[in-house]
Amino acid sequence: MSEKSVMKSVWSADSNLPRFPSQKDDIRTDVLVIGGGISGILTAYFLQQKGIDYVLVEKGRICSGTTRNTTAKITFQHGLTYQKILKKYGTESARKYLLANKTAAEKYAELCRNIDCGYETKDNYVYSVSDRKKLESEMTALQKIGYKACLCEEIPVPVKTLGAVKFENQAQFNPLKFVSSISEGLRIYENTFVKEMIENTAVTNRGKIYADKVICASHFPFINKHGSYFLKLYQHRSYVIALENAQDVNGMYVDENHSGMSFRNYGNLLFVGGGGERTGKNGGGWNELRNFADEFYRDAKEKYFWAAQDCMSLDDIPYIGRYSRSTSDFYVASGFNKWGMTGAMVSAIILSDMLAGKDHDFADIFDPSRSILRSQLFINGFEATKNLLTISSPRCPHLGCALKWNSAEHSWDCPCHGSRFAENGELLDNPANGDLY
């Protein structure tokens, strides 16, 4: 099945992104946006609408990282998140999280009315294969914050479940076609790599950029001396196959467990996702998905396969706002926990408004300087310590952790913070800020 498929996402095959020049001279700007994924581009789009002077730089081509590998579900149902937020932070914070992400979904609907990007309204389902009580607890949490969801007993995917929580009227789209439209006319410099920050000056491979304010939208924040993101984040890798002649599931479906499977259609293709693991660990990968397809979609043909990488926060809430308490001119957007489409829009709304002097009622729930005393912190710390003490080569140039060979993707992966390198040492995923060799 897989021998004739292409290793790239459907979006890469079905979209033509515009090209932008590289930086030629030193630049002076009010706001520097670092990172040309959908989060950075949406931020630049809103800054331009507000008349704020800005520059966006991207080390390669725009959307050449996480954005091109998303499954592109636009939903404010993020797993079984609301019961967790309710327990950790209370009813009002859970309401704010819902409001923020509902606002993001509505903004996509508004923008996509005039963009040919495959935008479709679909119901979203989060199912469980092992714990019915989690679904019931989520329904109770949603009732407390005033959102009406539905608890379904059966869903049309070949997975034996104990039910699913349904959010109606969510959406899906082609993210690169969307970005192709909104990026037109933006002040973007491609192939412009920020090697280091010296206070508010970005030193790039092509010169310097002097900025009053800096937004780090580079997936994983790379400035280590502030914010402790190397402790607050880890990265999770997941895999996708796109099948022709498979099932029309008429919706979006995801397991509440990060190691579970997801389903959604795009045109005549069915996306089956899963096989994931913490970056640098062993998971099922594409073989797990192909074995599943061989069993349940025997007549299907695999057309594409790809992998995605997501930054995971300590408490299931992204980090959006000031980079740290001590950096008043620096801002960050990261830790979208596999829900990067709404996370990107929420961050663009919050950050562009902050720079315009406007506050949002829901901005405080995303404050990057909130407490880090969560159980995931100790897991992240253990993984970092273990790999720092491992005697092996090569080692990650980010903070010196031992790299692990990923035989499925032929890459060197860092179990500490998720940096990845090609076999020849070329940097694939940050926070490392340079090649391996």
Structure tokens at 163: 């039910």
The confidence score (pLDDT) of residue 411 equals 93
Unique residue bearing structure tokens 């019931």 = 136
- Cis-peptide into 394, omega within 30 deg: yes
Average pLDDT (61-90) is: 97
| Kind plus residue range of the DSSP H or E element containing 146 | none
Taking the whole predicted model, whether its pTM rises above 0.75 is answered as yes
Q: Any idea what DSSP says for residue 200?
A: T
Q: Which residues touch 125 (CB under 8 Å, ≥6 apart)?
A: 152, 155, 164, 165, 166, 167, 251, 252, 253, 254
CA distance 353 to 433: 29
Residue 86 near residue 354, CB atoms below 8 Å: no
pLDDT in tens, 180-194: 999 999 999 999 999
Residue 413: strand pairing partners: 404, 420
pLDDT in tens, 243-282: 999 999 999 999 999 889 999 999 999 999 999 999 999 8
Under CATH, what is the fold of the domain 2-70+177-232+316-366? FAD/NAD(P)-binding domain (3.50.50)
Average pLDDT (327-345) is: 97
In terms of pLDDT, which residue wins out, 209 or 387? Answer: 209
CATH 3.50.50.60 residue ranges for the chain: 2-70+177-232+316-366
CATH class of 375-428: mainly beta
* Rounded CA Rg of the chain: 21
Average pLDDT (25-48) is: 98
Task: Report the share of the chain in percent with pLDDT over 70.
Answer: 99
Measured in degrees and rounded to the nearest 5, phi and psi for residue 2 equal -85, -15
The confidence score (pLDDT) of residue 2 equals 44
On the question of pLDDT at 3 being above 60, the answer is: no
Rounded to the nearest integer, the mean pLDDT of the chain is 95
pLDDT in tens, 382-411: 988 888 888 888 999 999 999 999 988 999
- Tell me the residue type at 368: P
